[in-house]
């Protein structure tokens, strides 16, 4: 074939190739408050005027039931719709308003005969009931073509089980039609999925088998759920990006995950930061990576209580990864000499530039390995029914023998109750807390102050079960903060300002209102609160500015600042 013939052939192929430009109707970030059909006219008209509507983007507005129904009616003949970008769409709405809105929209999409590629419902705080309201859409023919599902920060909780069952049913139905669901991206961070949700979703992932990205950070998953997800990883041969940041692997979970990682070859990004991988887990992961995943370019194992032996295994495990761009081992337990050894090894192996900062190394902890078995026993105790309060806890359990809670009343909150009493109270705790909050009435500042003071219990010295204490304090913080934000819906920055004052990030005009003597526990509470459905999304930008600034508070709490920024961005 002559050169001219080749040019003619290429030109002919290009003429036959249709490059389809996506037609988008976007009202992203406009802060529209759409209560009824009249309010929604602008959106409805834009939908009607778009000749080939493929993407409808409504992020960053607030849509009521009547407005949602009107918008839905304008979609019931839009067969070409492919992407529903509906994150942060119900700010300030009652949770009861969200399900009928989603049901209306889903029904119209099904009626139109659309074939969706992406659904993004992140940051809508609709809880388990929200998942039920879109279950029919997710099981319908409209979802057989789904490639991307985003449910980040929705407070799903036990709704994770419903979502998993729905995806499995969608796969069954679509397979029967000869076009099995081939989901590629699943995002559900900060959803309180815990073990039941993780185990159920792992089954769905394994059934589908086509995932390329799994993002499930900050979900309270421990080794039982991690082991289930490891099985899903083993059955996802195209998985490129795995993000399980800020869950709890411990040895059992880390060993299961290491085995799974070693059995696939597609991973490019692994984020196991803040996952308590520990030394034995890191050794196993390093050995697994040495013989697998040649395209890996990012590995995050920061703040995992990993000692030098684990770091060396990791360093050797990525030695031949030609595309390595980042190896993050910061915040572990190498000690000064260990840090030097890790850096020397990275230099010797030729990827010193890829090695992240080790400035937050926590030093050698000789007790870390001794505590591993004890921590895993604690996890076993809590794994049977993670969705329920542990009513069986008595003063004789977990080293609390002799702790008297019989005389504790709601008036003891937050200043006259000890950490031991707080934990041992069990189911009485919520009852007393709600009485205490009720007494505060609609005093937003008082709720924040009470929350800030009870947060200090996190650092009670010589407490036998730090994990249990921290989770208990977080539960108490939820009660106080939820009440505070409920009483300032129209101006949530009122509560945020008080939080920032108590955290020492801004000064109060009232000289008597000062920062806490030790702000770190309250900053930990703030990090936890950001992942909760009650935290108002509208305040995140202002909070981000405070977290990003340079000041002495962050100089002493660099790890928390980094984690907060990751969440806020």
- Opening angle at CA 200, ends 199 and 205, nearest 5: 95
Residue 42, both tokens? 């602008």
Provide the pLDDT confidence category of residue 192 given band limits of 50, 70 and 90: confident
β-sheet bridge partners, residue 298:
269, 326
Residue 134 clears pLDDT 90, i.e. is over it: yes
Provide the pLDDT confidence category of residue 53 given band limits of 50, 70 and 90: very high
Residue 150 clears pLDDT 70, i.e. is over it: yes
**How many Cα atoms are found within 13 Å in the side-chain-facing hemisphere of 485?**
20
Per-residue pLDDT tens for 158-178? 999 999 999 999 999 999 999
Q: What is the average pLDDT score of the chain?
A: 87
Q: Give domain status of residue 283, yes or no.
A: no
Question: How far is it, in rounded angstroms, from Cα 567 to Cα 565?
Answer: 5
Q: Give domain status of residue 536, yes or no.
A: yes
Residue 81 clears pLDDT 80, i.e. is over it: yes
Q: Give domain status of residue 170, yes or no.
A: yes
Per-residue pLDDT tens for 320-355? 999 999 999 999 999 999 999 999 999 999 999 999
Domain boundary among 240, 273, 306: 273
Of all helices (H) and strands (E), which one includes residue 83?
strand 83-85
Mean pLDDT value across residues 140-153: 96
Question: How far is it, in rounded angstroms, from Cα 451 to Cα 49?
Answer: 51
Residue 402, both tokens? 């002799």
Q: Give domain status of residue 381, yes or no.
A: no
Q: Give domain status of residue 159, yes or no.
A: yes
Domain boundary among 273, 306, 331: 273
Backbone dihedral region for residue 462 (phi beyond 0: left; psi -120 to 50: alpha; all else: beta): left
Give the burial class of 95: count Cβ atoms within 10 A of its Cβ; 0-12 exposed, 13-18 middle, 19 or more buried: middle
Q: Give domain status of residue 11, yes or no.
A: no
Q: What is the pLDDT of residue 10?
A: 52
Q: What is the pLDDT of residue 398?
A: 39
Of all helices (H) and strands (E), which one includes residue 323?
none
Q: Are residues 398 and 266 in the same domain?
A: no
Give the least confident one: 20-24, 286-290, 411-415, 516-520: 20-24
Domain boundary among 273, 301, 324: 273
Structural domain tally of the chain? 2
Residue 552 clears pLDDT 90, i.e. is over it: no
Q: If we measure between CA atoms, which residue out of 44, 33, 102 comes closest to residue 73?
A: 44
CATH code (residue 544): 1.25.40.200
Q: Give me the numbers of helices (H) and strands (E) for the chain, helices first please.
A: 22, 13
Residue 179 clears pLDDT 90, i.e. is over it: yes
Q: For residues 130 and 14, which has the higher predicted lDDT (pLDDT)?
A: 130
Question: How far is it, in rounded angstroms, from Cα 272 to Cα 303?
Answer: 9
Give the least confident one: 129-138, 269-278, 359-368, 519-528: 359-368
In the block, which residue shows the tokens 């870390």? 368
Q: What is the pLDDT of residue 500?
A: 93
Q: Give domain status of residue 188, yes or no.
A: yes
Question: How far is it, in rounded angstroms, from Cα 1 to Cα 108?
Answer: 54
269 three-class SS: strand
Q: What is the pLDDT of residue 402?
A: 59
Per-residue pLDDT tens for 199-232? 999 999 999 999 999 999 989 999 999 999 999 9
Q: Which residues have CB under 8 Å from 560's CB, separation 6+?
A: 520, 523, 524, 527
Q: Give domain status of residue 441, yes or no.
A: yes
* DSSP codes of every residue in 36-55: STTTTHHHHHHHHH-TTEEE
Q: What is the pLDDT of residue 429?
A: 84
CATH code (residue 89): 3.80.10.10
Per-residue pLDDT tens for 251-260? 999 999 999 9
Q: What is the pLDDT of residue 397?
A: 35
Backbone dihedral region for residue 331 (phi beyond 0: left; psi -120 to 50: alpha; all else: beta): left
Share of the chain above pLDDT 90, in %: 62
Read off the pTM.
0.66
Question: How far is it, in rounded angstroms, from Cα 316 to Cα 465?
Answer: 35
**Structural domain span for residue 40:** 26-273
The torsion angles phi and psi of 132, rounded to 5 degrees, stand at: -60, -35
Per-residue pLDDT tens for 390-429? 333 333 333 454 577 878 888 889 988 999 989 888 768 8
């Amino acid at each position: 074939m002559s050169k001219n013939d080749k040019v003619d052939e290429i030109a002919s192929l290009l003429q036959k190739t249709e490059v389809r430009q996506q037609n988008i109707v976007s009202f992203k970030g406009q802060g529209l408050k759409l209560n009824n059909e009249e309010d929604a006219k602008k959106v409805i008209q834009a939908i009607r005027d778009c000749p080939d509507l493929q993407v409808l983007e409504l992020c960053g507005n607030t849509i009521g039931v009547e407005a949602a129904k009107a918008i839905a009616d304008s979609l019931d003949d839009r067969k070409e719709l492919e992407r529903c970008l509906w994150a942060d769409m119900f700010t300030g709405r009652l949770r009861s308003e969200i399900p009928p809105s989603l049901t209306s929209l889903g029904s119209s999409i099904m009626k139109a005969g659309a074939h969706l590629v992406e659904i993004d419902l992140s940051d809508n705080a609709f809880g388990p009931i929200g998942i039920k309201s879109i279950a029919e859409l997710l099981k319908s023919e409209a979802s057989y073509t789904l490639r991307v599902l985003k449910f980040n920060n929705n407070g799903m909780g036990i709704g994770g089980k419903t979502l998993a069952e729905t995806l499995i049913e969608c796969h069954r139905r679509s397979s029967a039609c000869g076009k099995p669901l081939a989901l590629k991206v699943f995002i559900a961070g900060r959803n309180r999925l815990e073990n039941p949700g993780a185990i159920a979703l792992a089954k769905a992932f394994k059934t589908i088998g086509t995932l390329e990205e799994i993002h499930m950070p900050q979900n309270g998953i421990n080794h039982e759920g991690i082991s289930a997800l490891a099985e899903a990883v083993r059955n996802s041969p195209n998985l490129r990006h795995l993000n399980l940041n800020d869950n709890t692997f411990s040895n059992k979970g880390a060993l299961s995950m290491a085995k799974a990682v070693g059995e696939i070859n597609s991973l490019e990004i692994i984020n196991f930061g803040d996952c308590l991988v520990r030394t034995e887990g890191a050794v196993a992961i390093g050995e697994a990576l040495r013989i697998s995943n040649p395209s890996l370019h990012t590995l995050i194992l920061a703040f995992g209580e990993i000692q030098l032996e684990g770091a060396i295994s990791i360093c050797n495990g990525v030695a031949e990864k030609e595309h390595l761009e980042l190896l993050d081992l910061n915040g572990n337990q190498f000690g000064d000499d260990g840090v030097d050894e890790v850096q020397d090894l990275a230099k010797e192996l030729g990827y010193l530039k890829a090695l992240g900062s080790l400035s937050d190394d926590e030093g050698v902890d000789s007790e870390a390995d001794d505590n591993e078995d004890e921590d895993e026993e604690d996890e076993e105790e809590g794994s049977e029914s993670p969705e329920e309060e542990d009513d069986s806890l008595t003063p004789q359990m977990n080293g609390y023998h002799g702790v008297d809670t019989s005389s504790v009343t709601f008036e003891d909150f937050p200043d006259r109750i000890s950490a031991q009493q707080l934990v041992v109270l069990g189911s009485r705790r919520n009852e007393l807390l709600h009485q205490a909050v009720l007494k505060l009435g609609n005093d937003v500042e008082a709720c924040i102050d009470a929350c800030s003071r009870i947060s200090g219990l996190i650092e009670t010295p010589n407490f036998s079960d730090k994990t249990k204490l921290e989770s208990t304090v977080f539960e108490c913080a939820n009660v106080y903060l939820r009440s505070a934000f409920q009483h300032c819906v129209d101006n949530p920055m009122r509560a945020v300002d008080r939080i920032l004052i108590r955290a020492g990030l801004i000064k109060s005009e009232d000289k008597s209102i000062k920062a806490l003597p030790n702000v770190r526990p309250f900053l930990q509470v703030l990090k936890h609160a950001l992942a909760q459905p009650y935290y108002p999304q509208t305040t995140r930008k202002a909070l981000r500015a405070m977290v990003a600034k340079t000041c002495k508070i962050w100089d002493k709490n660099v790890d928390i600042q980094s984690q907060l920024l990751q969440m806020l961005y």
